[in-house]
Amino acid sequence: MLYLELDGNGARYAQVARALKRAILHGQLKPGARLPATRVLAAGLGVSRNTVLTAYEMLCAERLASAAVGSGTFVTASIAPARAPSARSAVAPQSRYAARLRRLPALPLRSGVPRLRFDLQYGEPLVDPPLASAWRRALARAATRSDWRYPPSAGHRALREAICEYLARRRGVVCGADDVCVVSGTQQAVSLLARVLLDEGDSVVVEEPGYALALQAFQAHGARLIPVPTDAQGLRVESLPRGAVRLIHVSPSHQFPSGAVMSLERRLALLDSAARRRCWIVEDDYDGEFRYDSTAIPALRSLDIHERVIYVGTFSKVLFPVLRLGYVVCPAGLRDDLVAAKMLDDVACGGIEQAALTELMRSGAFDRHLRRASVELRRRRAALLEGLSRHCAKHLTVNDSRAGMHMVGWLPGWSGQ
Amino acid sequence: MLYLELDGNGARYAQVARALKRAILHGQLKPGARLPATRVLAAGLGVSRNTVLTAYEMLCAERLASAAVGSGTFVTASIAPARAPSARSAVAPQSRYAARLRRLPALPLRSGVPRLRFDLQYGEPLVDPPLASAWRRALARAATRSDWRYPPSAGHRALREAICEYLARRRGVVCGADDVCVVSGTQQAVSLLARVLLDEGDSVVVEEPGYALALQAFQAHGARLIPVPTDAQGLRVESLPRGAVRLIHVSPSHQFPSGAVMSLERRLALLDSAARRRCWIVEDDYDGEFRYDSTAIPALRSLDIHERVIYVGTFSKVLFPVLRLGYVVCPAGLRDDLVAAKMLDDVACGGIEQAALTELMRSGAFDRHLRRASVELRRRRAALLEGLSRHCAKHLTVNDSRAGMHMVGWLPGWSGQ
């Protein structure tokens, strides 16, 4: 008698067919063997005879069996006899990349620096009803007018133009649509740039402490991370290592997690150092949109006369993280490599959301949202500062850089700089 | 006299400010130097004095200059003296990956095989008004109910469940939501799998001829491609190389470009060979949805008792390419690595489109579209075959595998097998 176990997924006849298929593949039922009489199998499994008949028909349709009129159903003779399964391989690290993935710490902050204790969930999206409905309308219009074919790998030209206009107006970064590659956020920017710029073992300077997910992308790619400390003025440029460095990753607008805004002097010194070393700077303009004083410090990209800066931005913070769209502004010599890497990575970003975002930026709805968000963030910031000064003045030293969507407080005994 | 060139982008005052910034950064204006009197510069540039005043204010706000009451505006003294720009580096290949990118052929088909001459644009999306409006409604509802935070890297659980239900019902692939990772299409699946499974120099068997973009992702990653010929039954398993192979990439449902459907015997032989070699099979279920005869050949994944098959699918062909969503069904031992690689690559796929697709699949609109598409494809197919037999019977031998969204015709003198 044939022992079959049903897996309980979906229709009964499909379960019976799968169980028979397993029996054939595992060699329980040999090539050329006759399948049990349908009545017998139905009784054994406690199913109707029709269920078994349908299962046999499925096996025949899949060519695993064939029916000979009057004499029953037989396992296809040409099926190679099944071999004993190899001892279930323990699926060891599949590649050096996978091995490095497995060594990454689960915690966002590495040891060696004081861990932040007051993590008042930063970067929560400010999606108010006007933004939600503007986005809904923009999506619906984009789905109406959409071209349904693959979008270009560099992104829709109209979106790249809207990004240029935004960058020139609000971030002081002047570039053309051809300098921009649309990506699905900062993370993809970093991971594409790692591929295009770095070989295994290359050195990458990162901020200490820094934004773990970007750092881990470099690490997984096989780069050697060189952490350089930050203080209230951002990366300590004078602490850069003497040896070869291929790339420096910084977030000068509002460093994560320290909140530091890199001073102009540091920016110029960093650019000078990169030009002398001939290494690349990846400027992650993280949380650079919102400032609460009058001082606008120019982006590294806007100060860069040696074309060493690759500027990276995202809509995760200024709109919402569920939208996976960002951009890279890169020197002309890198552009083709970056777009080719994007094409091989995932062809292109989704075209309907690209079209919707273009419409949001062109219609003024994006600017109106930025103004509302700025008012709301000021209000939240004032409330937080007032509460902290009223209740925690003795216990907490606040590092206030007057920028961005988070701030850092230090408990007594922990050094904040 | 100071010579300034305006770049013509945006407002005049911003152009003047940028030109002055360039002059400071290039060392034309030294640290501590006095900026020209506003009247003089305004006259020289042919702009109003207010334009120059605003530009000076911008420089002061950016800390590149400061105003001393009554005596003018001065370049900030602490700005490090600019150095002569390094001879503009020719931006040589930035990494081995970039060097490989640059060596990839621009053409989709490689030399060594006859090129297809009758490329009747395959895979055009069948977006009819009912699908377009169902998608628009689903998007609008998803944007209403959306969680605006980062989606999970493996994809929304509800979408993974809907994919499992679809795969079990229409593709004979039985799996659980935990076995599925949502990706942004076949290309990302291949590129993540290359990272997780392959080191530079590892051997990958690919179909000859094959789908160029997937092959190029392996090549760019540094894999050594071993092309194995295909015939009317798909990959010639008996031609697999004797040496070590790490991965075999096949599209058994409807091979691109030959259109071959891999026979059951070949499928079983391939699985057996992979189990003995302990290598992985990436089953790209390209164009597997539409069949025009009654025979359903089981997916490799459904025949695989040794857990060597990684099953890859996409919504590009069954819905439309502008939607960048697909999925990987992988053995348990690979899952965590794959999801970690996805996280480091781009965090996650866009959440609103994930939610909209879930709704489309749950509501039945997706199934209705598949039925309409199947009818329309049959109609187009019949029209094409009729036209070919009426007008080209002498000149064209059609390889008809009764599946998918393209077919291949061979001109006399070109060999089809």
Question: What are the pLDDT digits (tens) for A234-281?
Answer: 999 999 999 899 999 999 998 888 889 999 999 999 999 999 998 999
Residues of B with CB below 8 A from A281's CB?
none
The predicted structure's pLDDT at residue B111: 35
Q: What angle (nearest 5°) sits at the alpha carbon of residue B76, between those of residues B74 and B78?
A: 150
What's the pLDDT at B121? 66
Contact list, A91 vs chain B (CB under 8 Å): 331, 333-334
Residues in chain A closer than 8 A to B91 (CB atoms):
331, 333-334
pLDDT digits (tens, 9 = 90+) for B207-228: 998 988 999 999 999 999 999 9
Phi, psi of B288 (to 5 degrees): -95, -5
* Strand (E) or helix (H) holding B248: strand B247-250
- State whether B344 and A187 contact (CB < 8 Å): yes
Q: Assign A411 a pLDDT band (cuts: 50, 70, 90).
A: confident
Across the interface, do B79 and A188 touch by the CB < 8 Å criterion? no
Closest residue, chain A, to B124 (C-alpha): A149
Q: What share of chain A is helix, strand, coil (3-state, %, to 5)?
A: 40, 15, 45
Which residues partner with A75 through β-bridges? A65
CA–CA separation, A307 and A310 (whole Å): 8
> Which H, E and C letters describe B306-362, residue by residue?
CCCEEEEEECCCCCCCCCCCEEEECCHHHHHHHHHHHHHHHCCCCHHHHHHHHHHHH
Q: Give every CB contact of residue A177 below 8 A, 6+ residues apart in sequence.
A: A157, A160, A161, A164
When scoring A29, A170, A345, A369 by the number of chain B Cβ atoms within 10 A, the one with the most, hence best to mutate, is A345
Residues with Cβ within 8 Å of residue B144, at least 6 apart in sequence? A132, A136
The helix (H) or strand (E) run that includes residue A13 is helix A12-25
Structure tokens belonging to residue A78:
């040409």
Nearest CA in chain A to B31: A265
CB contact under 8 A, B276 and A83: yes
pLDDT band for position B118 (cuts 50, 70, 90): low
pLDDT at A89: 46
Whether residue B213 and residue A7 make contact (CB cut-off 8 A), yes or no, is no
Check whether A53 has a pLDDT greater than 70.
yes
pLDDT for the residue numbered A118: 53
Are A275 and B85 an interchain contact pair (Cβ–Cβ within 8 Å)? yes
Instruction: Confirm if B90 and A333 have CB atoms less than 8 A apart.
Output: yes
Taking contacts as CB-CB distances below 8 angstroms, the residues of chain B near A305 are 22, 25-26, 82, 85
What tokens appear for A339 in the block?
A: 């777009």
Please indicate whether, in this complex, the C-beta atoms of B168 and A297 are within 8 angstroms of each other.
Answer: no
Is the confidence at residue B158, as pLDDT, over 70?
yes
How far is the C-alpha of A342 from the C-alpha of A328, rounded, in Å? 11
- For the entire predicted model, the pTM comes to 0.87
Nearest CA in chain A to B275: A86
Region of residue A63 (left: phi > 0; alpha: psi -120 to 50; beta: else): left
Exposure string (b/e) for B318-346, b if CB count within 10 Å is 16 or more?
bbbbbbbbbbbbbbeebbebbbbbbbbbb
Instruction: For residues B284 and B294, give the distance between their C-alpha atoms in angstroms, rounded to a whole number.
Output: 22
pLDDT (tens digit, 9 = 90+) per residue, A309-358? 999 999 998 999 999 999 999 998 899 999 999 999 999 999 999 999 99
**Helix and strand numbers, DSSP H then E, in chain B:** 13, 12
